[in-house]
Structure 1
Amino acid sequence: MTQEKTQAAAEDGTKTVLVAGAGGVIGRHVADEYARRGAQVRGLSRRPVTGARWDHLPVDLLDRDATRAGLEATRDTTHLVFGAYIERATTAEQIQVNSALLTNALDGLEAADAPLRHVTLYQGGKAYGAHLGYFNTPARERDARLVQPNFYYDQEDILRAAAAERGFHATMLRPEGVVGYAVGNPMNLLMVIAVYASICRELGQPLRFPGTHAAYDALYQVTDASLLARATVWAGSEPRAAGEVYNITNGDQIRWRHLWPVFARHFGMDYAEPQPVPLADAMPHHEDLWQGMVSRYDLVPTPFEDLAGWSFGDFLFRSGFDNVTSTIKARQHGFEDCLDTEDRFIELFDRLAAERIIPPLG
């Protein structure tokens, strides 16, 4: 990027936003939030995004040459929001593939001579070791990295080096337990709970927490996807956010022990004590039942494998340790948005029912 173009972009308040991973629950909410605020938005994903009010680009970020060709159409991009992610079986494979996604996106925009001003990169609790077991809480952004390799670290190093070399700013956001709805994106705690509860009710069973007693009693936190989208917009224009890392959650902590009886009442179900059930093993057996529910309740047809991430739910509902991060730094720097998690779950369940994603409640 030329110095003249960088200066012109800095002086121009308009935003042209490119969202990588726009088909995911995070990317979809961010793209919608920027579009709602009047920005020009383009979303990258391998599959089309139903109902998008912004331009969709089917770019494969793993293909370096295809990425460069595809990003020619985004040469006016001022803000990159990077939410693309590919799951792999080993740490080394995760690092390799997810580093390539980010590198190809950055290099594609550089080749297009885009006037890039800011990049937002999403991380998560794995940065603190949440996937390994107990970690020090409340976790703070200044906590030291772990000796365990992690693709978040590699991506952050890649991004910081590119920002220093090419003259844009970068911010890393760390949500936890993201809840929201996006068609065909199963890595979503909201959908795990909503679909599990709907199937249990259809079977005439009470609602049981399907994890361990330790997880039932541990402190946990979630991040509403719409709140995270607002944090992303804030980070992209807040000077104090340049080069910083922020934990972003709803701002409160929960215990599943308190919430699951509330969920049962809202779904019109009886509640029973926890019973560990491996969802990834149990729930696929109810695919035919769900297809019957789609017809009976006139639900939006969604492939069962895209409806809920059962392995994702199993992991969270078996994490028997406190999972809490501090959001003080974001508040001190100006992002003070917060939500009551119990209230928000109820609102989102109602929205899923109203949009015929799950059957009517109560």
Structure 2
Amino acid sequence: MGICIEPSYKTMAVKESEFIFEENLTCRYVAVIFGVTGLVGKEIARQLLMRSAWKVYGVARRPGKIPIQHPNFHFISCDLLDAEESRQKLCLLEDVSHVFWVTWASGFPLDSPECYEQNREMMANALDVVIPRAGAALKHVSLQTGTKHYISLTGPPAAEEERDEGMRLYDECCPRVETGHNFYYVLEDLLKERLAGKVAWSIHRPGLIMGSSHSTLYNFMGSLCVYGSICKRLNLPFVFGGEKQCWEEMGLDGSDARLVAGQHIWAASNDTIYSTTGQALNAVNGSSFTWKEIWPAIGLELGVTVPENPFSPDFTFSRAMAEQGQVWKDIVREEGLVETEMEDLANWGFLDALFRCPVKMLGTREKADRLGFTTRYNTLDSITYWIAVMREEKLIPW
């Protein structure tokens, strides 16, 4: 099974009017996407390949179970933490004009010194090969981090600015948090050092990403859909387990993978925001929501039973779903889905932490709007869209 990207390709509910595919054109741009099997990496590849004149290299440790099939796409399997393997595999890259870094090393807890160092090492190994090999052809490097740039898991949040309706929205000028070891910072610093003011680069900070992938650690849509599928199978109520504040108040931004990918591409090809000092942009949907408002509609889309009051402060996904691996295997087999283990799509600890997050991570999109990137999505629409995509990709049942 593969994702065949060609003129006739249409994914359910996709609006392709903004992307024009032209056949038989010489590729004028060469992109390498590090993390091509992830939520945003897959979408960057799809959008680039539906535009004209792009050749795309995709790099990940393992190929996706739903591989991209396109004559201008080339997959490279590489462990970027292995310097020698990186030298051998990435030397295959030719004439790279655009780099998209949408991956990270997840072997250690966030904000730990080990996570910080591992991520620096991984990017350094890649840049050691790509920058000298690309030479003058390299035009732009696009780095994805996130709105966790503005908070710490080990201390108080950074300075906050009061905005409309009492919401605290972080803008791109907020100072770095001094506590912890946020690896986002070391990636920014490494790019600044290695590009040395000679190549434009941009930083993109999404919130909670909605997309489709089976190889993403913090996979919200995968977790949500597997949970819904198991509830439907066992006739369990579709409840929200978490803190009341997370249920009733907006605590994070939704970020549709289509929007985040589009912003990466827009920044990399838009002269008005070229910056050799690193232009940072929040990449968020821009619509406000609470789980209390949209949870019943999500349940309706998944075909599950939503209680009159779905909020359950004592419910934890980790405990409720811990023994349901065989149920998921049965669903996969009987529905003819792509072969996955429950843990390939679902991260129950992530859902528990997400719905009990003690701090708010809300970013303003004023800068992106002002510079001309005005794409927006309603977060509930994003969720229902990606449910449809995951069904079409046969990652979840109808």
**Are positions 1:52 and 2:73 aligned together?**
no
CA contact (8 A) 2:210 2:382 kept: no
SS in 2 for 1:296: helix
Aligned match of 1:124 in 130, 141, 146?
146
Q: CA deviation at 1:344?
A: 2.1
**Are positions 1:215 and 2:250 aligned together?**
no
1:333 is aligned to 371
CA contact (8 A) 1:210 1:274 kept: yes
Which structure carries more helix by proportion? Answer: 1
Deviates more, 1:182-191 or 1:238-247: 182-191
SS in 1 for 2:175: coil
Q: CA deviation at 1:283?
A: 1.8
CA contact (8 A) 1:68 1:111 kept: no
1:256 is aligned to 291
**Are positions 1:81 and 2:100 aligned together?**
yes
2:3 is aligned to none
For the structure 1 residues 62 and 317, does the alpha-carbon distance in structure 2 shift closer, same or farther, using more than 3 Å as the test?
Answer: same
1:26 is aligned to 40
Give, as a single letter, the amino acid of the residue that structure 1 aligns with 2:116.
I
Q: Distance in 2 between matches of 1:260 and 1:332?
A: 32
1:15 is aligned to 29
For the structure 1 residues 131 and 225, does the alpha-carbon distance in structure 2 shift closer, same or farther, using more than 3 Å as the test?
Answer: farther
1:274 is aligned to 311
Q: Distance in 2 between matches of 1:131 and 1:266?
A: 33
Q: Distance in 1 between matches of 2:208 and 2:385?
A: 17
Q: Distance in 1 between matches of 2:157 and 2:316?
A: 21
1:192 is aligned to 223
**Are positions 1:247 and 2:279 aligned together?**
no
CA contact (8 A) 2:147 2:362 kept: no
Deviations 1:221-262 (A, max 9, x none): 211111111111101012214221000011112100011111
Q: CA deviation at 1:79?
A: 0.6
For the structure 1 residues 237 and 118, does the alpha-carbon distance in structure 2 shift closer, same or farther, using more than 3 Å as the test?
Answer: same
Q: Distance in 1 between matches of 2:295 and 2:39?
A: 23
Aligned match of 1:347 in 372, 381, 385?
385
CA contact (8 A) 2:152 2:177 kept: no
SS in 2 for 1:285: coil
Q: CA deviation at 1:351?
A: 2.7
1:6 is aligned to none
Q: Distance in 1 between matches of 2:254 and 2:262?
A: 15
2:8 is aligned to none
Give, as a single letter, the amino acid of the residue that structure 2 aligns with 1:57.
I
CA contact (8 A) 1:231 1:335 kept: yes
The TM-score, its normalising length taken from structure 1, stands at 0.90
Q: Distance in 1 between matches of 2:215 and 2:190?
A: 29
Give, as a single letter, the amino acid of the residue that structure 2 aligns with 1:226.
R
Give, as a single letter, the amino acid of the residue that structure 1 aligns with 2:149.
A
Q: Distance in 2 between matches of 1:245 and 1:110?
A: 21
Give, as a single letter, the amino acid of the residue that structure 2 aligns with 1:336.
T
1:3 is aligned to none
Q: Distance in 1 between matches of 2:369 and 2:360?
A: 22
CA contact (8 A) 1:173 1:245 kept: yes
User: RMSD value over aligned CA atoms?
Assistant: 2.0
Any stretches of 5+ residues in structure 2 without a counterpart? 1-25, 161-167
Deviations 1:240-291 (A, max 9, x none): 1422100001111210001111112223333222124332343231011111
Q: Distance in 1 between matches of 2:318 and 2:243?
A: 15
SS in 2 for 1:56: strand
